[in-house]
Amino acid sequence: MSPLRPDLEFISHWVQPRTHVLDLGCGDGTLMRHLQETRQVTGYGLEIDPGNVVKSTAAGIQVIQMDIDQGLDAFADQSFDYVILTQALQVVRHPDRLLAEMLRIGRKGIVTFPNFGYWRSRMQIAWRGRMPVSETLPDAWYDTPNIHLCTVKDFEALCRQQGYRVLSRQVVDAAHHGNRLMSQLPNLLGEIALYSLTAGHRRGAALNKTQFALE
Amino acid sequence: MSSPIDPPGTDSANARFPEDSVGLVTPQRMVFDAPLELEGGKRLERYELVYETYGTLNHDRSNAILVCHALSGDHHAAGYHAPDDRKPGWWDVCIGPGKPFDTRKFFVVSLNNLGSCKGSTGPNSLNPETGVSFGPDFPIVTVGDWVNSQRRLGERLGIRQWAAIAGGSLGGMQVMQWAIHHSEAVRHALIIAATPKLSAQNIAFNEVARQAILSDPDFHDGRYEERGVIPRRGLMLARMLGHITYLSEDAMRERFGRELRAGRIQYGFDVEFQVESYLRHQGTSFVDRFDANTYLLMTKALDYFDPAQAFDGSLAEAFKASRSRFLVASFTSDWRFSSARSREIVNALMEVRKPVCYADIRSTQGHDDFLMPNPEYLAVLHAYMQRVAAELAA
């Protein structure tokens, strides 16, 4: 296997060994496989794409073919230690409800997304007057799967509004490297943002499954 | 018995068959003299099971796969019985060299279940107590009884643990039964196009099929053989009804639409639409190869299957002690045992943290898709079986 993407490496540092993990949109299974091998985790990857289901199966992970936009009400409250969503928050229909579901199902949520506040994105809109296209956001506006892009500030505003607690934050560039300056100006210099969250005090237990059903 | 396994009757050198076929196969028969206690309270004093094998059992007997058949299936899952056979066995798309159940790596055993009319002991067999065939006196057998008989077959073949047990539809239910009650003997359980139990609608369809047979004047309470007749009409109707539930509406529309046989409406009750002609053909050809008493027995085994029942109705509890690993697959166009039914199985497994992969295969044909060469389906099976094979090498 090729070396792990650095953002996935960051994530795996946040995952304690021998825990139970749900990876939403697990792709070809790279992250789950890495977590299984290096952290001895158990758990499942959810994936909708048939080709990725085959790849994940071949990768030796437990992949469940399903559409996370159809809701996660099959999963019980607090039934996983971590629920992970990498680079998919912006493609789901209801990111806010999905976050709530993640923190209902998991004790912790780990989320990564492309930061729309990244200075190059701002430049493309401000100076060129065009929708940003970059390594992280490669698609044209009319055929992008990214329907809910947000900035670091937007995301943190949502967390505050919902009462979620940010346990860790990391921003990196497209090559998934971070530095001190970037962490001081995350919304301007970070191209990809990574968060570890929990539902606020006692909130996890109070979340109502049906209230947050995604459909 | 010098070697528990005779080299299977496969002849890959036969150039008449496709390269990825197991070639010519010969069914084998095993006699069991120890009585088998049945769930229904009766017992079979002795019985015979007919089976086929493909591939070679390895030295440590760890590469065996058991294949369980569905309602009207039999032991002939792959290859050909004669050089001029028109069709191979029912799961030939999955079994053979290079196929998901790769016979270069695995030793595949496919048996015919008790109560069948295809060679294993069933209603057409001689009842030792009466000297005539069992007919309707053949006891009702359940999925659990089948699995018990399959365990004995495995023991006699020297297989303590199956690398995998696989089956579609009613076959998938046998796999579930194995994985719940005898998981020490099942490393991987492949449950395809199955359901944790029949719905009221499923049972209703079965009941209409049974009534079609039971109300046929030639049925004679199941003693039709003694009278030298066959309840053709009833069995045909049962199959026609069943066949409707095996196909998706799209598949029917695509194949037949509202096409008329004679090109125009005749205003009568003869066959007019192509789909009527197709169903009648399915029905009549079924009568020639199947038995009414067996059909009744098989539908009852379906109806009774409910492994959660013994666990206060909780499927998750039923799976809790299982040591097997699972692959569950469903087909998007299957409305008989829909994807939602497979998801019940998957959710129960995830609830008790069992290793499970689940694929919901995009399909068009309906319930019968598990027999079809659907590339996505074969790719998932292939990827999963590679994992199973990798464990053998380890």
Domain ranges of chain A: 6-201
- For range A63-74, the mean pLDDT: 94
Q: Which has the closest alpha carbon to B286: B212, B336, B222?
A: B212
Residue at a domain's end among B244, B278, B300: B300
CA B244, B245, B251: angle at the middle one, nearest 5? 65
User: Which of B358, B386, B387 is closest, CB to CB, to A65?
Assistant: B358
- Given a cut of 60, is residue A85 above it in pLDDT? yes
Q: What pLDDT score does A176 carry?
A: 75
Residue A206 has pLDDT above 80, yes or no: no
In a domain, B20, yes or no: no
Q: Looking at residue B173, which CATH number applies to its domain? A: 3.40.50.1820
> Contact B383/A54, CB-based, under 8 Å?
yes
Write out pLDDT tens, residues B200-248: 999 999 999 999 999 999 999 999 999 999 999 999 999 999 999 999 9
Do B134 and B60 share a structural domain?
A: yes
Distance CA B266, CA B260 (A): 9
Interface of A with B in 42-71 (CB under 8 A): 42, 44, 50, 53-58, 60, 62-66
Q: Are B151 and B182 in contact (CB under 8 A)?
A: yes
d(CA A55, nearest CA chain B) in Å:
8
Q: What is the pLDDT of residue B270?
A: 85
Cβ contact, residue pair B384, A57, below 8 Å:
yes
Q: Which of B331, B352, B357 to mutate to test the interface with A (most CBs of A within 10 A)?
A: B357
The answer to the question of residue B1 being in a domain is no
**Pair B171, B318 in one domain:** yes
Mean pLDDT, chain B, rounded, equals 94
- Torsion B170-B172-B176-B178 (CA) sign: positive
At which of B252, B274, B300 does a domain end? Answer: B300
Q: Which residue has the higher pLDDT, A202 or B61?
A: B61
Mean pLDDT calculated for residue range B159-175: 98
CB A146 within 8 A of CB A83: no
Whether pLDDT at B112 is above 70: yes
Decide if B356 and A62 are in contact by the 8 Å CB cutoff. yes
Q: pLDDT (tens digit, 9 = 90+) per residue, A94-115?
A: 999 999 999 999 999 999 999 9
Q: Which amino acid is at B160?
A: R
- The verdict on B193 and B213 lying in the same domain is no
Residue B136 burial by Cβ neighbours in a 10 Å radius (0-12, 13-18, 19+):
middle
pLDDT at residue A211 above 50?
no
Q: What is the pLDDT of residue B15?
A: 57
> Which candidate from B346, B359, B386 shows the least CB-CB separation from A53?
B359
pLDDT at residue B3 in the model: 41
Interface test with A, best of B325, B330, B362, B380 (most A CBs within 10 A): B380
Q: Which fold has domain A6-201?
A: Rossmann fold (3.40.50)
Average pLDDT over residues B328-340: 97
Helix (H) or strand (E) holding B377: helix B375-393
Helix ranges, chain A (H): 6-14, 30-39, 50-58, 95-105, 119-123, 152-162, 180-184, 186-189, 203-206
Phi-psi region of B23 (alpha: psi -120 to 50; beta: other; left: phi over 0): left
What confidence score (pLDDT) does residue A6 get?
72
Do B77 and B148 reside in the same domain of the chain? yes
Can you tell me the distance from the alpha carbon of A63 to that of A45, in angstroms, rounded to the nearest whole number? 5
A65·B386 Cβ contact <8 A:
no
Q: How many CB atoms lie within 10 A of CB A145?
A: 9
The answer on B159 and B38 residing in a single domain is yes
Are B192 and B223 contained in the same domain? no
Same domain flag for B276 and B360:
no
What pLDDT was estimated at residue A67?
A: 95
Same domain, B172 and B193: yes
Into how many domains does chain B fold? 2
Q: Does residue A212 carry a pLDDT above 60?
A: no
Whether residue B279 is found in the same domain as residue B336: no
- Write down the pLDDT at residue B370: 96
Shortest distance, CA A127 to any CA of chain B (angstroms): 45
Instruction: Establish if B227 belongs to a structural domain.
Output: yes
Averaged pLDDT, A19-32: 97
What B214-222 contacts at long range (C-beta under 8 Å, 24+ apart), as own/partner pairs, is: B214/B296, B216/B292, B219/B292, B221/B136, B222/B123, B222/B135, B222/B136, B222/B137, B222/B292, B222/B293, B222/B296
At residue B261, the pLDDT reads 86
Best mutation site among A18, A40, A44 for testing chain B: the one with the most B CBs within 10 Å? A44
pLDDT at B4: 42
* Residue B268: CATH number of its domain: 1.10.1740.110
Q: Do B78 and B192 share a structural domain?
A: yes
The arithmetic mean of pLDDT across residues B43-55, rounded, is 97
Provide the pLDDT for residue A135. Answer: 83
Interface predicted TM-score (ipTM) = 0.92
d(CA A45, CA A22): 6
Q: What is the pLDDT of residue B394?
A: 65
Q: Decide which of B300, B334, B360 is a domain's last residue.
A: B300
Q: Which residues of B are catalytic?
A: 169, 334, 367
**Residue range(s) defining the domain that contains residue B36:** 28-198+307-393
Buried b (16+ CB within 10 A) or exposed e, B267-282: eeeebbebbbebbeeb
Are residues B342 and B314 located together in one domain of the fold? yes
